[in-house]
Structure 1
């Protein structure tokens, strides 16, 4: 319950209407890119699995996309609320199983520092934290399939560069390291404990409001 409370307080502070916030410019952004999830250290157990196998699973390149709404703060700072979606497929999950997809829908609060340089291209760094709904589907070679979800705590570290095209429009690209607490999925006879960590490369556009 504590992560939910922390996230709620951060979002409330971000969008609370007060006299100082009214003077700060707001923005909306869109982003998407490839997600390189690290090989997952997974373990399996249950009545449909023999021998409780485990170990690293090869993960295919996936995708990430999302939207964010935020505001500019003094001292080259920004803060935003972000809704994002990630998904990856495991190459060879287990003998007898053909498909295993793992993804997450996340709601995060991100903070950025725009490094002040007198140049059209400006670097930035940032970090974020929040909550995610991890979702996984598993299918074997005999027609059995099931889906499970689990709430996880999420965090990410970011670094990139942005180009301000005009007073309203900014293009950006960034590297992100994304991670969650380890989900534990249940698939009706199969228990799969795994990890969700990824190296993402995103491309996006930001629209400023007056």
Structure 2
């Protein structure tokens, strides 16, 4: 009887041990493989480049002239008017959220077409409007600051302006005679407003108005032809109204 009990206990112990091993085997599961790490995001590049061009309308500028021909005096005091001209340029800039700072280089040119004002000769004086030739060409280097409304949207109105230097070359001709051929460096500025439209995440189209000026432009010349002489002077602030279209490329999107 005793041997039978011992044998039965041994069988029970073996059965319990086998059950524990089977239970442990059922409970074990290998760890799932780790998911692949997502690719590192590309670093954001806030820089951009822009190019633009458009129409330029220069305001009238003050001009004076005098001549001594055959010992008689002639004089003019009035304004020079100009035709519609053009403006082209480019910029390199950096975005700071809604603000943008940039350095701009541009060139604008307007042809003079008429001299209007008081003309005096030995017979008296009168108001005239005569054709003239020549042009005004200006290179401007400006540091601009623009504020973009809705700067993360596709349609982004903006305002701003800039300041810097204007390098102006002035040429005035009358009856194929050059009266002024001179250059000037002065303070330049612009104020403007416009609208950008995002064609893609990196490319914008731009349409804007810019009021530009170069202050205190002075250009003068003296001319001699035989016993006769003439002098002419253009002295004024040169202001222009500009309608500009452009394209901007953002290196990392806006």
TM bucket (normalised to shorter chain) is: 0.7 to 0.9
Give per-residue Cα distances to partners, 1:73-110, cap 9 Å, x unaligned: 13x00010000011111211377873131121000011
Pick from 61, 68, 76 the counterpart of residue 53 of structure 1.
76
Structure 1 residue runs of 4 or more that deviate by more than 6 Å after TM superposition = 94-97
Residue aligning to 2:102: 80
Residue aligning to 1:152: 186
Distance 2:45 2:187 in 1: 29
Residue aligning to 2:249: 207
TM-score after normalising by structure 2: 0.67
Residue aligning to 1:198: 240
By relative contact order (CA 8 Å, sep 6+), the higher-ranking structure is 1
Could you tell me which runs of 5 or more consecutive residues in structure 2 were left unpaired when the two chains were aligned: 1-42, 117-128, 223-230
Residue-pair matches, total: 187
Give per-residue Cα distances to partners, 1:41-94, cap 9 Å, x unaligned: x131344695542233322111111010011013x0001000001111121137
Choose between structure 1 and 2: higher strand proportion. 2
Distance 1:34 1:187 in 2: 29
Could you tell me which runs of 5 or more consecutive residues in structure 1 were left unpaired when the two chains were aligned: 1-21
Larger Rg: 2
Over the residues paired in the alignment, what is the CA RMSD in angstroms? Answer: 2.4
Distance 1:52 1:182 in 2: 23
Asked if 1:65 corresponds to 2:88, the answer is yes
Report if aligned partners of 1:83, 1:106 keep a CA contact under 8 Å in 2. Answer: yes
TM-score after normalising by structure 1: 0.80
Pick from 187, 191, 205 the counterpart of residue 221 of structure 2.
187
Report if aligned partners of 1:96, 1:141 keep a CA contact under 8 Å in 2. Answer: no
